Amino acid sequence: MINCPSGTYRPSNTIGSARDDVTDCQTCSEHYYCPEGSSARIQCTNGQVCPSGSSLPKLCEAGNECAVSTSPFSVSNSLCPVGYYCPQGATTKIACAGFSATLCPQGSKFEGGQSTTCAAGFYLSGSVCKYCDLGYVCLAGGEISNPTDGTQGYICPKGHYCDARISVLEIDCPAGTYNPSTKGTSTDSCLPCPSNYYMPSAGQPY
């Protein structure tokens, strides 16, 4: 009797009457896998995926959540939702800390977001989204912590301070203060209006 090839199986109740070929081999159905010569399907387990015709299980791809359900038996394979991340082989999503929706968009593979692009206020460092340096503004998709090219971001302008943990864009110095320098990092960069002058508007450079 010829063994059924990988990804198929020959039900045990047909082995006695099996022909000397593979015409009675059945394709392994979704959520199961069948090594060569199988007489029964083998169920995938948590953290694995088994498309139809699988010879071996595969680990759930990073950014997806793969969990077993019963009645009927199945293995889910869905994108990790916003606010969570799913490493390779994940059986359940893991909550992100802090700015969850920003740090972990849908399909995140690890805490810090996706490995291909970062939201405004962050830059891509290796495969992790990190906050922009103080004194700079990082635009979406940037890969530099202190950008100056105007495409990935720019230096914090005069009259403002920049802290991505508070705002993804520059923040006006309050009325009654001014900042004559670039790269402001906090309200400490905003100087009080000198004697004999007044500044009724926010965001003044002088």
99 lies in which domain range? 60-113
Residues 127 and 139 in one domain: yes
My answer on whether 26 and 108 are in the same domain is: no
Same domain, 103 and 135: no
Per DSSP, the three-state class of 15 is helix
Of 111 and 69, more confident:
69
Task: Tell me, yes or no, whether 40 and 120 share the same domain.
Answer: no
Task: Name the pLDDT band for 114 (thresholds 50, 70, 90).
Answer: very low
Is residue 108 packed enough to be buried (19+ CB in 10 Å), middle (13-18) or exposed (0-12)?
buried
Domain count, the chain: 3
> Stretch 169-177: mean pLDDT, rounded?
91
Same domain, 15 and 25: yes
> Per the confidence metrics, is the pTM higher than 0.75?
no
Name the range with the highest mean pLDDT among 14-28, 119-133, 155-169: 155-169
CA distance 100 to 102: 5
Tens digits of residue pLDDT in 31-47: 899 998 898 999 888 77
Q: How far is CA 138 from CA 23, 67, 128, 132, 204, in A?
A: 61, 37, 15, 6, 22
Are residues 100 and 125 located together in one domain of the fold?
no
Neighbouring residues of 122: CB distance < 8 A, sequence distance ≥ 6: 102, 103, 113, 129, 130, 131, 132, 138, 142, 164
The torsion angles phi and psi of 194, rounded to 5 degrees, stand at -70, 165
Both 2 and 22 in a single domain?
yes
Question: What pLDDT is stored for residue 61 in this prediction?
Answer: 82
Q: Do 105 and 153 belong to one domain?
A: no
Q: What token pair was written down for 63?
A: 């950014």
Q: What is the percentage of the chain residues whose pLDDT exceeds 70?
A: 88
